[in-house]
Amino acid sequence: MPFDSTYVDGLDIVLVGGLPRASVVLVAGAPGTMKSSLAYAILHGNARRGRKGLYVSLEQSRESLLDHTRGLEMDPDGTAGNLSVLDLSALRARMEEARGPAWLDLFKMYTQTLKASFPYEFLVIDSLNALEILAKFERHRREVFDLFKWLRGLDATCLVISELPPDPEGGDYRSAADHREDYLSDGIVHLKLAKRGDFGVQRQLRVVKMRGRNHNTDYHALVFDGGFKVTRILS
């Protein structure tokens, strides 16, 4: 099975080679765990090496997202046009009346259209929760199953960002997630904020699931220091 490197220091080691190509991987975590930044970093790292990536933002505007990522030293200008941000948040005002299946169809139309004119190999959806709300998923499991099946047909490695509720205790993935997408995705990367002492908080990452890989299931520290690094947690 071919793999796509994440170009995140230490993450490919945890994943035992990288992300399975054309898989659908959930990046789940509570607010502030840098899910979007990590997903963008994976896109950015690949784009700098000539592999095209599409970031679909359903909530954050393109300007806001790019300001944010520039602050993290991930300048889109350095990707030679290999990284595109599809700003669907701008359409929310116009499409407000057309909520429901229209949004899912709109999302599919865009991603398919761009696949033809901008053949991306990586796709980030930010976020699944926003898409669920806009598309008014009623039979959640069935609709997410259909969506993931459709995403696999795109022949791109997909990172689907999933919001988990804030967990002050920093518990593990099982306690935080409602397990709705677990069985449908090919992989799950869980990000959390873990308390360190009385005042400290550490971002941590755990590969909960990655089909077909004997990956490391421990929690690792997710550090940002001019770039993301995944390291062992020092006690």
From the centroid of its chain, how far is CA 172?
Answer: 18
Of 67, 73, 75, 98, the one binding another protein by CB under 8 A: 98
Q: Does 113 bind another protein (CB under 8 A)?
A: yes
Of 21, 48, 62, 180, the one binding another protein by CB under 8 A: 62
Contacts 24+ apart (CB under 8 A), 135-139: 135/99, 135/100, 135/101, 135/102, 135/103, 135/104, 135/107, 136/99, 136/100, 136/101, 136/103
Among the listed ranges 5-13, 86-94, 153-161, 165-173, the one in contact with another protein (CB under 8 A) is: 86-94
Provide the edge-to-edge strand list for the sheet that holds 219-224: 83-87, 53-57, 122-126, 157-163, 24-29, 187-196, 200-210, 219-224, 228-231
**Which C-beta is closer to another protein: that of 55 or that of 173?**
55
Residue 101 Cβ, how far from another protein at the closest point, in Å? 7
Residue 22 Cβ, how far from another protein at the closest point, in Å? 21
Cα–Cα dist 146/153, whole Å: 11
Of 13, 16, 95, 184, the one binding another protein by CB under 8 A: 95
Residue 99 Cβ, how far from another protein at the closest point, in Å? 10
CA dihedral (108, 122, 131, 73) positive or negative: negative
Of 80, 109, 201, 233, the one binding another protein by CB under 8 A: 109
Among the listed ranges 31-39, 112-120, 141-149, 225-233, the one in contact with another protein (CB under 8 A) is: 112-120
Of 13, 17, 110, 202, the one binding another protein by CB under 8 A: 110
**Which C-beta is closer to another protein: that of 13 or that of 106?**
106
CA triple 66-68-72, angle to 5 deg: 105
Tell me which residues touch another protein (CB under 8 A): 62, 81, 84-88, 90-91, 94-95, 97-98, 100-102, 105-106, 108-110, 113-114, 116-118
